[in-house]
Amino acid sequence: MNIEELMSEALREQAAEQPPPAPGLADRVLTVRRRRRTRRIASVAVAVAAVVTAAVGVPRLESGGHDVRPLGRVDPKPKAPTAAHPAQSPVRSLIAAGNTAMAAYYTQKTDWRTAHKGLRTRTYWLLDPKSGRYEKDTRWSWVAVAPGLRTAAVLEQHLPVRRIGLLDIASGEVERWIPVDQPVGGLEFSRNGTKLVATTYEENPDIVTRTGAEGIPVPVKSSRTGFYVFDVASGKGPWAAVGVQRDNQGNEINLRQDFEFCRDGRTVTGRQSGAPTVRFYDASGREVGVPDGERYNTVTAGLSPDGTRLAGEFAGKKWHTSSWILDPRTGKHLAEVRGQILLAWADDKSLIAWDIGEGDKNEFHNRLVLVTIGSDKEVPLSGFLRGTDGSAGRWEPVFAER
């Protein structure tokens, strides 16, 4: 058998064993591209040997030497340890539980003094994977982190902007820019990281109010125009025109009306309020029916990883602060769990939440905690926030699957 036949047979065997795309695929694609740019091929024989070796299942080394697994296969993740820093606020070191990590956090400040009166801006701190600490990065007005914690999609200051950056989190450098015809003001990855939805606006969606006659604040109307759905690997995707969303009384729902992916990775929604005003769209902007598990989804945490439970809204029955866990098919209460606001699932039975301290009456005196269905205990993950809603000292987490 000659070398060409050997290669063909090996690659056919590999293709037959390929599983469906798993979370973090976009990061692995970008990692391969980074490696290709710096790899020097010594000879054709070396290149052929490398292909054949990878095809027969010998583990390869991914970016940074931390991820070793057979080519085309994703092994089940071992249970990751909890990383908690209950004395830190804002946090300085990694916060994580189960399969979820806080990839970044941001603070917000509203300008009431200059010509930009009413403009709310964010300052981000991104996780440095080498040090395990959060580092301030003032370049970005918006950051979305892909599963795997290797790549972030970023927008520069002064929204809306006409390009999207794909940031290598480890180096802090933008690897690629995606230019856009319609200016963008918000971003969100799909669950497996292979797609990116970008919400488009005519004007900055973070201007809270403008001053009218006699200095009276005038609410700013949303200027949402639609969304892109990009394939992360190619940077290509269609734009769909979808205007401002209104409630049943015809009132606009929030100034910032960002789109996000549903669990199926094909449908997007601008989830500004509960049913029946929530709308769902395919990539072309055509309105579609409610996807499985999305009808009663009104909380950030959404569906559990296995899809059998849905994070619900505030309960306050068994504990002073608690939340419901719902049946995603019927919306019925399955359980009550501690936590004031459910933010992200750590695993199929545990969630990261905001909650106040034991006996505390101040609803804004929150900290990140880990709560578990069926347990009375909660594990503090961070220190308490300072100030009231929107004031200095408060920060907002950005979670991603690790």
Write out pLDDT tens, residues 308-346.
999 999 999 999 999 999 999 999 999 999 999 999 999
Q: Is the pLDDT of residue 53 over 60?
A: no
Q: How confident is residue 364, by pLDDT bands cut at 50, 70 and 90?
A: confident
301: left (phi over 0), alpha (psi -120 to 50) or beta: alpha
pTM: 0.78
Q: Rounded mean pLDDT of 253-263? A: 86
What pLDDT score does 14 carry? 45
| Most confidently predicted of 31-45, 152-166, 239-253 | 152-166
Q: How confident is residue 397, by pLDDT bands cut at 50, 70 and 90?
A: very high
Please report, rounded to a whole number, the percentage of residues in the chain having pLDDT higher than 90: 62
Cα dihedral 146, 149, 151, 153 sign: positive
Write out pLDDT tens, residues 205-220.
998 876 666 666 666 7
What the block records as the tokens of 65 is 């030497």
What pLDDT score does 336 carry? 98
What pLDDT score does 210 carry? 66
Structural domains in the chain, sorted by start: 3-69 (no CATH), 139-297 (2.130.10.10)
User: What is the DSSP annotation of 285-340?
Assistant: S-EEPPPTT-TT--STT-B-TTSS-EEEEE--SSSSSEEEEE-TTT--EEEEEE-S
Chain Cα centroid distance, residue 42: 40
Contact predicate 364/325, CB 8 Å: no
Measured over all CA atoms, what is the biggest interatomic distance in the chain, rounded to whole angstroms? 87
Stated as kind and residue range, the H or E segment containing 31 is: helix 25-38
Q: Is the pLDDT of residue 232 over 80?
A: yes
Q: Residue holding tokens 């409630």?
A: 247
Q: How confident is residue 7, by pLDDT bands cut at 50, 70 and 90?
A: very low
What pLDDT score does 277 carry? 63
Q: Is the pLDDT of residue 48 over 90?
A: no
Please report, rounded to a whole number, the percentage of residues in the chain having pLDDT higher than 70: 72
What pLDDT score does 228 carry? 98
Stated as kind and residue range, the H or E segment containing 260 is: strand 260-261
